[in-house]
Amino acid sequence: MRMFRNDYSEGAAPQILDALVRTNDEQCVGYTEGDPHCERARALIRAEVGRDDVDVEFCCGGTSANIIGVTGMLRDWEGVICTRDAHINVHETGAIAACGRTVLPTTDADGFLSPDEAERVWQFQTSTGRHMTRPALVYITNSTEIGGVWTRARFDAICDWARSHDLKVFLDGARLGSALTSDESDLTLSHIAQNVSAFYLGGTKNGMLFGEAMVIADPMLKEAFPYLVKERGGLMAKGRLLGVQFEAAFERGGNPCEAGRSAAGDTDSTTDGAGIASHGERSEALYWRLARHANSCAYRMRDGLVELGFKPYGHSASNQQFFVVTPEQERALAQATGCETFYVLDDGARVVRFVASWATSEADVDELLELAGTI
């Protein structure tokens, strides 16, 4: 059975691999400045976000991007406000603290940072002046740690709050592709780019071998990034590998290699082999098509599990789906599908996570549902 552990268990989408193979014998300058692929990727991303005044930089992975993005916009005495389940708070081994910066979590329990909770933390941290860490940055994630998708109204509310307190905003976009192609998203990439200080487009969890592309509007981070990426061990000598992947992901038109897995084992003019719709003469970049496909499989899985009587945990409109199960169901599902346990509830029930990726097929989902019906 296909595993549903995460969205980075596979290598990379065939179109990405094809681009890497086609350019493999090229000789490019080192790192990520000056080679034609990084520069082309930068131009494509600037066009995608609708701003030509931003810097576009590349990181190896999400933790590296978060470390550089957060610490690059904070001074020694400043901290970052985030939810209690934020990746920088619970899944990065104290990386922000190890760099001498302070994480200031709220008590928000649904993955969304609320203005009310941000205000509470702000009031507390500024109540004694110089004697406490001063908030200077807000960190949010789209999609959230439990699969939630930010609406424009919710996003504008926290950005407006941050602006009213002269705080910067950093958006962790490890799964931004899934979030913005969600059926429930009314938020656009250009709107994000106009309202945050920096954010990144996650590649590792959306069909690339590795890599995140950071879009930077903040002057302080623009200056700091080239130094921090080196200092924090994130600068790749073969940086063009990042550029090639993002170039392939955001190039429109052309004739990328068509391949992938499908239950039927064949393709047609409107879908890739993995069933990824091409949306009319490839008017939509591969990056979004990969994410949209992952979401579609996740929705099929969600609806099927609900129909079988499984209870969702919260509400996810992304490629991550969470369900409440018994310990016995947890063991059986984990062994067969690789799903991970996220929480143990007070009554002993478990919350498990299933994740669909660019490589998931409808047949994979149907096999999971067939199994779940026997548990």
Look at residue 339 and tell me whether its pLDDT is greater than 90: yes
- Residue 265 burial by Cβ neighbours in a 10 Å radius (0-12, 13-18, 19+): exposed
Q: Is residue 23 part of a domain?
A: yes
Residue bearing tokens 């990379």 = 12
Measured CA to CA in angstroms, residue 11 lies from 7, 14, 370 at distances of 10, 9, 27
pTM of the model: 0.92
The chain-wide mean pLDDT, for the chain, equals 93
Q: Residue 343's domain is classified under what CATH number?
A: 3.90.1150.10
% of the chain surpassing 90 pLDDT: 91
Rounded distance, CA 351 to CA 87, Å? 18
Last residue of a domain, one of 218, 250, 282: 250
Q: Is residue 268 part of a domain?
A: no
Look at residue 173 and tell me whether its pLDDT is greater than 50: yes
Same domain membership, residue 187 and residue 44: yes
The pLDDT of residue 283: 84
Question: In the structure, what pLDDT confidence band is assigned to residue 273 with cuts at 50, 70 and 90?
Answer: very low
Q: Is residue 263 part of a domain?
A: no
Same domain membership, residue 316 and residue 230: no
pLDDT digit string (tens) for 55-69?
A: 999 999 999 999 999
The pLDDT of residue 277: 54
The pLDDT of residue 276: 59
Look at residue 280 and tell me whether its pLDDT is greater than 90: no
Least confident interval from 191-195, 262-266, 314-318, 342-346 = 262-266
The pLDDT of residue 253: 67
Rounded distance, CA 218 to CA 236, Å? 23
Look at residue 281 and tell me whether its pLDDT is greater than 50: no
Same domain membership, residue 238 and residue 306: no
- Longest C-alpha distance within the chain, in Å? 66
Look at residue 108 and tell me whether its pLDDT is greater than 90: yes
Same domain membership, residue 222 and residue 315: no
pLDDT digit string (tens) for 24-58?
A: 999 999 999 999 999 999 999 999 999 999 999 99
Same domain membership, residue 227 and residue 83: yes
Same domain membership, residue 231 and residue 181: yes
Same domain membership, residue 336 and residue 227: no
Domain count, the chain: 2
Q: Are 14 and 259 in contact (CB under 8 A)?
A: yes
Look at residue 328 and tell me whether its pLDDT is greater than 50: yes
Same domain membership, residue 18 and residue 167: yes
Last residue of a domain, one of 194, 222, 250: 250
- Residue 63 burial by Cβ neighbours in a 10 Å radius (0-12, 13-18, 19+): buried
